Amino acid sequence: MDNTRRTFLAQAAASLGLMYLSGLTPEVLAQAHEHAKAASRNLDVQPFRFFTPQQAADFEAFAEQIIPTDETPGAKEANVVRFVDFALSEIEPQNKQDFTKALEALNAQAKKTAAQAASFAALSSAQQVEAMKAMEKSDDFGTLKGYVLVGFFGDPADGGNKDEIGWKLIGFEDHFYYAPPFGYYDAQAVKEKA
């Protein structure tokens, strides 16, 4: 048996890690998830951290065209704009420049669509669709659309998907933790035990 100090420290660290992980019960994970959701509800009343009011209005108008409100809630009700504000401030600040560039491209296309328009949000719904169609194959469009989808279907703890609107729309049930089998390997192990 190798009794070096390095071996001892590695075994001690592994033991502490196992003790920590064994304490993460489904109940503890559910409590943490509820705490995160409660904290995200306060985002509705906070001032924007990334967006200017005009940028928020332009992006929200874009998001409403991607996932409109009809017989089901849309991007506005799901709080997509708040998710993106949080994501670009806290989760992915390295993407601020690309997102700002995409918004600028959206507003440039709005001006091409209607020269008198002050911004994308100022266009009529039909003009917004026309502007979006003109740029839908661009990377800028993909950036904006990607954030709409993540904000609509992502974890509500991050400020979007308010009241689990997106999850309810697709029938997803969040159980606050993930139980095995996780994939092919776990499923095979379960079969072998049976």
Contact 67, 152 (CB under 8 A): yes
CA–CA dist 140, 114 (Å, integer):
19
Contact 83, 161 (CB under 8 A): yes
Judging by beta carbons within 10 Å of its beta carbon (0-12, 13-18, 19+), is residue 30 exposed, middle or buried?
Answer: middle
- For the entire predicted model, the pTM comes to 0.70
- Note the pLDDT of residue 157: 83
- Note the pLDDT of residue 151: 92
Q: How confident is the prediction for the chain on average, in pLDDT? A: 82
pLDDT tens digits along 106-159? 999 999 999 999 999 999 999 999 999 999 999 999 999 999 999 999 888 888
What is the CA angle 94-133-51, rounded to 5?
30
